[in-house]
Amino acid sequence: MKTLDAPVKPGGVIGIIGGGQLGRMLALAASRLGLKTCIYNDENHAPAFQVTPLQVAASYEDQNMLRGFAEICDVITFEFENIPSATIEFLSALKPVHPGAKALSQTQDRFIEKTFVASLGLATAPFFDVTSADQARAAFSKLNGGGILKTRRFGYDGKGQAKVTSADQAASAFDNFKNAPAILEGLIDFSFEASVIAARGADGSFAAYDPPENEHENHILRRSTVPGRLTRAQNEEAKAMARKIAEALDYIGVLAVELFVTKDGSLLVNEIAPRVHNSGHWTIEACQCSQFEQHIRAVAGWPLGDASRHADAVMENIIGAEADAWESLAKSGALHLYGKQEAKLGRKMGHVTRLKPKT
């Protein structure tokens, strides 16, 4: 595994696997710093291809193309965690890859992830490994009420998830997932959801943004509000949790920790995303250094930037056909559109951030 001997100099190239909106916003942030980006994406059209001349459209398993890509990059990162682990291994032998294989191995699989989180002494919902319909029934019986069956891998935005309220439902949900390895989690009667976006630098330095409160609709993030309902003590606790996780993973880059805030005020870890995160988009306007710039700084071996917040912010996603109202959205706040041509149902087309004076 390669590591950086020295920070990537201005003019150097950051390789980004994945050309969606996160890759696009990472590339825009790198450009501000005088760094170039090369985007690797497995489809010909990608939002991030519009913002840099350096681009590779090829399969994530094409070793010739991966080798050529690594050749022109000084360091490699990614915008999504579901990259084939063979791809990461292959690239890691050629150039530094951050966050590295360890972070991915602990977060690509929900069962491994929750086991890892629990091993750090952090609270999660009760969870059980499910590899058969019988195991699904047995696990359900241990829950105190309903649960959610989730495939262990490759889920996002509610995909690969089913709410279950009986042992029979748990078993048939497992069958519906075509016997993919799964995890049964106990339903949490939470007060609200939150997340903490944090960064760890190559030198072990750490910076965390104020945790937003998050609202979801149809399993997709609708809105992030900062400050939300977290108390000052919960803010600090959330940041400390993110730090514990980042340090245990020898993490380099930005990561997000999704949290449930229970009615008695406890913070439970729901999920770790080893990347920049939708609930951190408000940092573009409200912080001197956005989550995207922060990630680029970390993976390039640069000093972390100032994560303090100088305004209150509400970020709302623009989903599917909502993007047709771009003109009135442009009037209403800081509009970001991702360059996607088709406004498919449930597709994140952009977001809008509205600032208010800091409270």
Least CB distance to a second copy at residue 326 (A):
6
Least CB distance to a second copy at residue 277 (A):
18
Among 200, 281, 297, 348, binds a second copy (CB under 8 A): 297
CB-based contact 337:42 (threshold 8 Å): no
Least CB distance to a second copy at residue 294 (A):
11
Please say which residue, 20 or 350, places its beta carbon nearer to a second copy. Answer: 350
Least CB distance to a second copy at residue 338 (A):
6
Please say which residue, 220 or 355, places its beta carbon nearer to a second copy. Answer: 355
**Residue 183, CA atoms < 13 Å, CB-side half-sphere:** 21
Euclidean distance between CA atoms 216 and 195, whole angstroms: 12
| Run of H or E including 264 | none
Least CB distance to a second copy at residue 121 (A):
33
What does the per-residue mask of binding to a second copy show for 44-73, with x meaning CB under 8 A? -----xxxxx-x------------------
Euclidean distance between CA atoms 243 and 263, whole angstroms: 24
Euclidean distance between CA atoms 352 and 36, whole angstroms: 26
Please say which residue, 71 or 306, places its beta carbon nearer to a second copy. Answer: 306
What does the per-residue mask of binding to a second copy show for 306-345, with x meaning CB under 8 A? x---xx-----------x--xx--xx-xxxxxxx-x----
Among 33, 112, 133, 187, binds a second copy (CB under 8 A): 33
**Radius of gyration (Cα) for the chain, nearest Å?**
20
Of 85, 39, 47, give the one whose Cα is nearest residue 65. 39
State yes or no: residue 31 binds a second copy (CB under 8 A): yes
Q: Which stretch binds a second copy (CB under 8 A): 57-65, 83-91, 119-127, 283-291?
A: 283-291
CB-based contact 283:184 (threshold 8 Å): no
What per-residue string of b and e applies to 264-296 under the rule 16 or more CB within 10 Å gives b?
eeebbbbbbbbbbbbbbbbbbbbbebbbbbbbb
| Run of H or E including 180 | none
Please say which residue, 36 or 137, places its beta carbon nearer to a second copy. Answer: 36
State yes or no: residue 28 binds a second copy (CB under 8 A): yes
**Residue 92, CA atoms < 13 Å, CB-side half-sphere:** 16
CB-based contact 256:279 (threshold 8 Å): yes
What does the per-residue mask of binding to a second copy show for 84-113, with x meaning CB under 8 A? ------------------------------
Euclidean distance between CA atoms 206 and 196, whole angstroms: 13
Q: Which residues bind a second copy (CB under 8 A)?
A: 7, 9-11, 24, 28, 31-34, 36, 49-53, 55, 285, 288-289, 297, 302-303, 305-306, 310-311, 323, 326-327, 330-331, 333-339, 341, 350, 353-355, 357-358
